[in-house]
């Protein structure tokens, strides 16, 4: 199952920082995290900010995942990104 998420973060935050937080939070179900776009525009995002568009792939080899399970992990990821990296979620 794949989910996409765009986060606005400080320019000093690297994708590897985001990936490290994601791997700790989603360690059981998160199989892959991919960066597919970086957007920088101070007039739209604010000074010193950038946006990462990321995709997350979830998998459990023993069973079929349910949407509510992946939604719960995504909510944990969002809380972790906001709390640990000061991220804002682009909606």
For the chain, the 3-state helix, strand and coil shares in percent, each to the nearest 5, are 35, 35, 25
Give the whole-angstrom CA distance, residue 67 versus residue 61: 16
pLDDT score of 19 more than 90: yes
What angle do helix axes 67-85 and 15-25 make, rounded to 10 degrees?
130
Mean pLDDT of 35-55: 95
Number of domains in the chain: 1
Q: Is residue 38 part of a domain?
A: yes
pLDDT confidence of 27, banded at 50, 70, 90? confident
49 pLDDT band (50/70/90 cuts)? very high
Whether residue 64 lies inside any domain: the answer is no
**CATH number of residue 21's parent domain:** 3.30.70.380
Residue 33 included in any domain: yes
Q: What is the mean pLDDT of the chain?
A: 95
Distance between terminal CA atoms of the chain? 20
Tell me if 26 is assigned to some domain: yes
- DSSP single-letter state for residue 63: S
Q: Does the global pTM surpass 0.75? A: yes
- Report the alpha-carbon angle 40-1-90, nearest 5: 25
The residue range of the domain holding 74 is 2-47+70-90
């Amino acid at each position: 199952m794949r989910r996409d998420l765009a986060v606005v973060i400080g320019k000093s935050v690297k994708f590897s920082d985001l990936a490290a937080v994601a791997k700790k939070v989603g360690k059981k179900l998160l199989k892959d995290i991919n960066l597919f776009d970086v957007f920088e525009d101070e007039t739209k995002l604010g000074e010193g900010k950038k946006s990462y568009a990321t995709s997350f792939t979830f998998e459990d080899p023993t069973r079929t995942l349910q949407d509510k399970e992946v939604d719960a992990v995504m909510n944990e990821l969002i809380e972790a990104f906001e709390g640990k990296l000061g991220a804002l979620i682009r909606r």
